[in-house]
Amino acid sequence: MGKRVAVVLAGCGVFDGSEIHEASAVLVHLSRGGAEVKIFAPNIEQRDVVNHLKGSPADEKRNVLVESARLARGNIQDLAELKVSEFDAVIFPGGFGVAKNLCSWAVDGKNCTVNEYVNSTLRAFHGAKKPIGLCCISPVLAAKIFPGCEVTVGQDKNVDGRFPDAETASAIAELGCKHICKDVSESHVDKANKIVTTCAFMCKAPLHEIFDGIGTMGKQVATVLDKLPPYRRCCISHPVRSKMSRKAFDGHILLVQQPGIGLQGWQSLWVVICIKGTYP
């Protein structure tokens, strides 16, 4: 079975939604890697609507979930319905919609607020120690939610005019996070937090370079997944012996069989109590 990955969109269109090329690149790389993908978006009104032909605001209202459905070919779900237990990883493409709809970074910068469902989704994946992939401006979500994390949005200086939004790196540092300078062809892995980031269109680069950079992020997410301990599942509730470890997540107790310990010789069945938003 392929890796199960949730992709979260922010609308459709670079100036008020998800960046279409980035979203497509994420989906293509996941498809090539054999992942099972489901797409989500919050069922909320967009902060604004931009006429992409004129580059100016449009006097209309649009819904983030409805607009994201264009990119998902209609196969999409409300982010409120995402169950972390059903996925191995989550990826957020970039686009101004991330900074406008998924959070208020576009107007409030480092003092932004994050949409409640985006916040809870990221915290649940992080709490379950499942990898999080973030493209372009999306790393600011992690910077806001997880103080001390490491992310990249490219360079912290506008090198050769290729990184016009380099000041974002300074804002990330002011949030207590570490910005790692990377080129468009690279991604960064925060091993402690299992967060993988790449700058994508935060860099003025040819489309194929951005596509390839997003590919490195996808591969790094898969690598993080492959390194996770092989915890097993069981849905039978029975007493367990002291050989089993206990971990608390979201106020519940998770009992897991340690890798390498078999069932032979055990006098009672082992169990994993199913809990919301943790191991699958």
Query: Are 201 and 270 in the same domain?
Result: no
Instruction: Examine the domain organization and report whether 216 and 243 are in the same domain.
Output: no
The CA distance from 158 to 161, in Å, is 5
Domain identity same for 169 and 30: yes
Q: Let me know whether 256 and 129 are in one domain.
A: no
Q: Are 60 and 167 within one domain?
A: yes
Domain residues for the domain of 247 are 230-280
**pTM of whole model > 0.75?**
yes
Q: Are residues 36 and 101 in the same domain?
A: yes
Question: Could you tell me if 238 and 271 are in contact, meaning their C-beta atoms sit under 8 angstroms apart?
Answer: yes
> Of 181, 199, 226, which closes a domain?
226
Distances in Å between the alpha carbon of 36 and those of 30, 39, 63, 75, 89?
8, 10, 26, 13, 11
Same domain, 65 and 183: yes
Residue 64 has pLDDT above 90, yes or no: yes
φ/ψ of 132, rounded to 5, equals -120, 125
- The CATH number covering residue 32 comes to 3.40.50.880
Q: Where are the alpha helices (DSSP H) in 95-147?
A: 96-97, 105-108, 116-127, 139-145
Check whether residue 216 and residue 274 sit in a common domain: no
* pLDDT tens figures, 211-260: 999 999 999 999 998 887 755 333 333 333 334 444 443 444 344 444 44
Single residue among 200, 226, 252 that ends a domain in this structure: 226
Of 184, 201, 226, which marks where a domain is finished?
226
Catalytic option among 112, 135, 136, 199: 136
pLDDT tens digit sequence for 136-146 = 999 999 999 99
Same domain, 137 and 32: yes
- Together in a domain, 149 and 169: yes
How far, in Å, CA of 15 to CA of 32, rounded?
Answer: 28
pLDDT value, residue 150: 99
Is 136 an annotated catalytic residue?
yes
Q: How many domains does the chain have?
A: 2
Whether residue 63 sits in one domain with residue 50:
yes
Q: Is 85 exposed, middle or buried (0-12, 13-18, 19+ CB in 10 A)?
A: middle
Question: Measuring CA to CA, how many Å separate 238 from each of 65, 260, 271?
Answer: 42, 21, 7
Q: Are residues 199 and 235 in the same domain?
A: no
Closest by CA to 29, choosing from 68, 65, 3, is: 3
The Cα–Cα gap between 139 and 152 comes to: 7
